[in-house]
Amino acid sequence: MTDNTLNLDGTLRLSLMGGQARAFLTQSTRMVQDARSIHRLSRVATAALGRLLTGASMMGCMLKDERDSLTAMIKGGGPLGTLMAVARADGTVKGYVDNPDVELPLRADGKLDVGGAVGRDGQLTVIKDLGLREPYVGRVNLRSGEIGEDLAMYFTASEQTPSLVSLGVLVGESVVAAGGLIIQVMPDCSEAALKSIELSAPMFMNISKTFSEYGLNGALEQLLGHLEPEILSTARPAYHCDCCRDRFERGLIALGREELTKLIDEDHGAEVNCHFCNRTYRFSEQQLRDLLRRAQT
């Protein structure tokens, strides 16, 4: 295998042990590196947002309809502030963190202190827009702020689906490897199958290292080879922002006449920044006057 295929991002949707469990295995190295470049993330912010984006991407792949979307938001009270990830059914994601340049000392075991940076005093909220009148909202208290454990808690408490979640980002000068695994037990899972999964859990602890050494297909063999994996479908995780000028125009119109007039008279224009991709949209005085006219009709 060449280095090239080792580094290729991908998601595998799997059936385990003849359908007694299902799994999502994703390599997201490039996706997390893109997030790091766009937001100029510190190492610990890369690990934290990278884990959330990777988890959200896999959860996006669980959505039924390509128009559906999923938002995962963590407010943990730590120095990073709020972390946000939005995923779509094709595995693409976008996200941001309030304070991207926070850096903390390494933990005693030499690992990045993601839990300390995220904080443990707060909640994980998952919002699913399934095209219905009301979105589905699930919320759980954070367990560790390490994100994998918190998502597992969400699946168990909010969706009544016992799940094992492992997320990892290995950061050096750039992102060396990133990836994740979610295993969900089906209601008819036997005791023996459950035991096999539980016994395997320690192997999933250092998932980013597994990806850095073996790539996606090698990781499949290493991590799940003994659980009779069967690939049901594949997806390509990627960082993608779907913002457009039109959306920001509508946002400005929604500010109302008074605010728009103020922007015209006092600032003689406006600059709006997309939180997800850092693109800046500029509006001249004349363009704002056009929007003001539209706001009045």
Stretch that binds Zn ion, among 62-70, 180-188, 197-205, 273-281 (CB under 5 A): 273-281
294: left (phi over 0), alpha (psi -120 to 50) or beta: alpha
Residue 48: CB minimum distance to Zn ion, A = 20
How many residues in the shown chain lie near Zn ion by CB under 5 A? 5
- Binders of Zn ion in range 97-156 (CB under 5 A): none
Encoded one letter per residue, x for contact with Zn ion by CB under 5 A and - for no contact, window 164-193 reads ------------------------------
Q: Which is nearer to Zn ion, 216 or 277 (CB)?
A: 277
**CA–CA separation, 217 vs 193, rounded Å?**
23
Tell me whether residue 78 or residue 95 sits nearer to Zn ion (CB atom): 95
Residues 245, 211: Cα–Cα separation, whole Å: 38
Please compute Rg for the chain using Cα positions: 21
Q: Which is nearer to Zn ion, 107 or 247 (CB)?
A: 247
Q: What track of x and - describes contact with Zn ion for positions 229 through 258 (by CB under 5 A)? A: ------------x-x---------------
Q: Which two tokens stand for residue 255?
A: 């500010």
In terms of CB distance, is 101 or 242 closer to Zn ion? 242
Helix (H, G, I), strand (E, B) or coil at 12: strand
**277 in contact with Zn ion (CB under 5 A):** yes
* List of residues 6+ apart from 188 with CB closer than 8 A: 20
Q: Is 8 in the site for Zn ion (CB under 5 A)?
A: no
Q: How far is Cα of residue 157 from the mean position of the Cα atoms in its chain?
A: 20
CB of 70 or CB of 224, closer to Zn ion? 70
State how beta strands 280-284 and 269-273 pair. antiparallel
Residue (190 or 278) nearer to Zn ion, CB:
278
Q: Which of 276, 281, 288, 295 binds Zn ion (CB under 5 A)?
A: 276
d(CA 291, CA 251): 10
β-bridge partners, 88? 69
Which residues of the chain form contacts with Zn ion (CB under 5 A)?
Answer: 241, 243, 274, 276-277
